[in-house]
Amino acid sequence: MIHLSPAAVNEVKRLKFKQQPNVMFRLAVKPGGCSGWYYDISFDEIVVPSDDCIFQCDGISVVIDIKSLNYINDLTLDYSEDLMGGGFRFHNNNAIATCGCGNSFSIYAQSAI
């Protein structure tokens, strides 16, 4: 299960409004970044039912590929703004370390995606 804060819901809805109306919010984990894995967020029209899970969070369809799901189960996605601008913040209970940017993380048992 994935959780979105009210601020993240508002920002995703704002960004989605700029896209085509039938796009879904996609959250994935990919190898790379300074800690081994990084979060990738995008909007996507293509969903493959055999490879993707779809969650409903406050009216937003969140698509996560099955491989990424193990790395971000119970993740909370937040959005905040500061003097440097706005950005999504990831709070992942599965991460044992994160880098300074907050978008890259490592976990105990790393396996290839």
Distance of CA 68 to CAs 29, 49, 51, Å? 5, 15, 10
Q: Which residue has the higher pLDDT, 96 or 102?
A: 96
Q: What pLDDT, on a 0 to 100 scale, did the predictor assign at position 102?
A: 60
The predicted model gives 9-13 an average pLDDT of 94
112 domain-assigned: no
Give the three-class secondary structure for 108.
coil
Q: What is the CA 50 to chain-centroid distance, rounded?
A: 20
pTM of the model: 0.81
Let me know: does 37 contact 31? Beta carbons within 8 Å.
Answer: yes
Domain membership of residue 99 as a residue range: 3-107
Q: What pLDDT, on a 0 to 100 scale, did the predictor assign at position 79?
A: 95
Domain count, the chain: 1
82 domain-assigned: yes
113 domain-assigned: no
> Which CATH number characterizes residue 12's domain?
2.60.300.12
Q: What pLDDT, on a 0 to 100 scale, did the predictor assign at position 26?
A: 94
86 domain-assigned: yes
Characterise 6 by phi-psi region: left (phi > 0), alpha (psi -120 to 50), beta (else): alpha
Q: What pLDDT, on a 0 to 100 scale, did the predictor assign at position 64?
A: 94
pLDDT in tens, 23-82: 899 999 888 877 788 889 999 988 888 889 998 888 888 999 998 988 888 899 999 988
Q: What pLDDT, on a 0 to 100 scale, did the predictor assign at position 103?
A: 66
17 domain-assigned: yes
103 domain-assigned: yes
